[in-house]
Structure 1
Amino acid sequence: MENYANNKTQSHKMKIVIKELTLIQKLEINTKVKLRLQMILKIINQTLVVYLIKIIIRDKAVLRLVQVLHMS
């Protein structure tokens, strides 16, 4: 009977350890996903900044062209 109780306790401890390991794995996966998303957002932000700079440069060029044409 004592052996049965001991096995039951061991089984319970193993279940707790497995749950903890599962939680740790989920946290690690979430961290990896979060890091990937941060990288993607960084790339998107850089792309948007470059795009906006190109638009601003183009708009200034168009504005200059209009001013030159207006003067002549």
Structure 2
Amino acid sequence: MRVVADIPHPDIKITLLAWNGKYLLKLELGPFEQTYKVSEMEVTGGDEEVKTWLDAPFLEGCLELFLAMRKNLYATRDRHE
């Protein structure tokens, strides 16, 4: 696995990786992680194209997913206390 880029963001750690013919877009916030895998064959513009996908609507959606992940984890912990 090769790190292609660390992409700055004020709240989310974003890493673009290349591995096994795929780009992996890894986003981390606290203890939570989201990974998006895309075949390199589907990306004509290489890693620079993938970086353009990190627009405001995509990142807002990712933040919403992080909140849903946290809510889901806390809910199951509460049910099993």
Q: Structure 2 length as normaliser, TM-score? A: 0.34
The structure with more strand, counted as a fraction of residues: 2
The structure with more helix, counted as a fraction of residues: 1
Greater relative contact order structure (CA < 8 Å, 6+ sep): 2
